Amino acid sequence: MGFHLLLEIWTYKKFSVLFTAGWFTSVARWFEVLIFSVIAWNLTENASIAAFLVMLRLVAVAITGIFFSITGTFFPRKVVLVITTLLCAFTCLSIFLLSTFGIELNLISIGLISLVSGAMWSVDFSFRRPMLADTLPAHIISTGVSVDVLSTHATRILGPLLGGIFLAYLDESYITFFLFCLYFLSLLCVLTQRDTTTFKKQEGNFFNAFSRVLSETRKNINLLTVILLTFIFNIFSLPFIALISILLIEKFQKEALEIGLLTSLEGVGALLGGSLIAAFPPKNKRIMFTIFLAIILGSMISSAVTNNLIVYLVCIIAFGFSAACYSALQSTIIYLNSLPELRSPTFSLLTIAIGCGSLGSLNIYIMSKKLTTELITIIIGCEGILMLIFTLFFINFISTSTKEN
């Protein structure tokens, strides 16, 4: 194990092409998150609208995840990926063409792109990532998936950077054309590839297939752990990313430029964590997965409690580092423990848990009416730890019951 694995994965052409396809859609995703939030604010001067757009995207992730966790075994992976990417490209191009006739970006068009982008996020996770892992031999699958996750964290820096440049120097009408170009390039990459897994039409109805996915997940402690802990992360930890900059304002009275630079340290921590886990994948992935989630929750609480800026920044770096390791192990565990014919539906089941991040945003919104950001962070961190402890006991109980039966 070592950094030579990072070089070996690029010798597989199919991996490189599918990786590039995901990179284009990931840049588009984080580009949208920043730029549409700013445009929504400019249109309404209402921060809740920007939050609603994020929630809309996550709802689309959850709904698409539910659909493909039920129907995923009935459709070829490449076909689903091509259709969804084409839909994103067509939506962006249509809105761009309308803008040439004087119809400017509005909340309806932004909401529509957010919905199709959320669906694309779910499909990319459920179909492209398993296809990507299938292109690699067993000994470097973990490294390949980790590098793919690492690229997502890298585009969290690149996407907003490009978004800032567009807002500062270019007309808003070019935004949707740029998004069209990104999705179109991703589509070209996917079209050049052949799904290495032979598609077999499943017998029975959709719900029988879904029942089988749930049954296999319940019987496999690794799958069960990842699915349940993903609910915890996305409800209690994922919303914290939006609070990092607010804590810098409230606790340390930082200005805009300082906030941007200091907040980026979370992304730096993510890049470090993703690189390390890609080069040196742990043997006991489930245990490390759980430990990283505990570190994430602990770093959240510590960042809210401390009044020392240096300690706060260390906590932010630790959060980003652990979140990247957590994400990489999440996808790897799902891939290695799911049956080949149920791999995409199992990944779709995971996207349902990811989409539940909208509940976390709602939780914060309700508390923000009366509580400070510092207290909110402490509360959601403690809620997450309590849920983690309860869930681990529950998983142990289920595992014991399954063995006895």
| Res. 1: pLDDT tops 50 | no
Domain, as residue range, for 147: 4-192+208-404
**SS in 3 state form for 6-50?**
HHHHHHCHHHHHHHHHHHHHHHHHHHHHHHHHHHHHHHHCCHHHH
Q: What whole-number percentage of the chain has pLDDT above 90?
A: 22
CATH number for the domain harbouring residue 259: 1.20.1250.20
Determine the Cα angle at 323 with ends 31 and 37, to 5°.
Answer: 25
Select the more confidently predicted residue: 308 or 159: 308
The predicted model gives 327-353 an average pLDDT of 84
pLDDT tens track for 99-153: 777 777 777 888 888 788 888 878 887 788 888 888 888 888 888 888 888 888 7
> Residue 289's pLDDT is what?
93
Determine the Cα angle at 157 with ends 135 and 268, to 5°.
Answer: 90
pLDDT tens track for 304-335: 999 999 999 999 999 989 998 998 899 889 88
The predicted model gives 211-221 an average pLDDT of 84
Token digits for 286?
Answer: 């489930």
Give the long-range contacts of residues 241-246, CB within 8 A, separation 24 or more. Answer: 241/266, 242/54, 242/361, 242/364, 243/364, 243/373, 243/376, 243/377, 244/303, 244/316, 246/373
pLDDT tens track for 252-289: 877 756 776 777 788 788 888 888 887 788 888 899 99
- 200 within some domain: no
> Residue 227's pLDDT is what?
92
pLDDT tens track for 25-80: 988 887 877 677 667 767 776 555 666 776 777 788 878 877 776 665 667 778 88
Could you give the C-alpha distances from 211 to 22, 63, 343, 346, 401, in angstroms and in order?
Answer: 30, 17, 14, 11, 19
- 34 within some domain: yes
- 261 within some domain: yes
| Res. 352: pLDDT tops 50 | yes
> Residue 162's pLDDT is what?
80
Cβ(88)–Cβ(27) under 8 Å? no
> Residue 396's pLDDT is what?
86
Cβ(206)–Cβ(129) under 8 Å? no
- 28 within some domain: yes
- 203 within some domain: no
Domain count, the chain: 1
- 201 within some domain: no
DSSP string, 286-334: HHHHHHHHHHHHHHHHHHHH---HHHHHHHHHHHHHHHHHHHHHHHHHH
- 198 within some domain: no
- Give this prediction's pTM: 0.77
- 197 within some domain: no
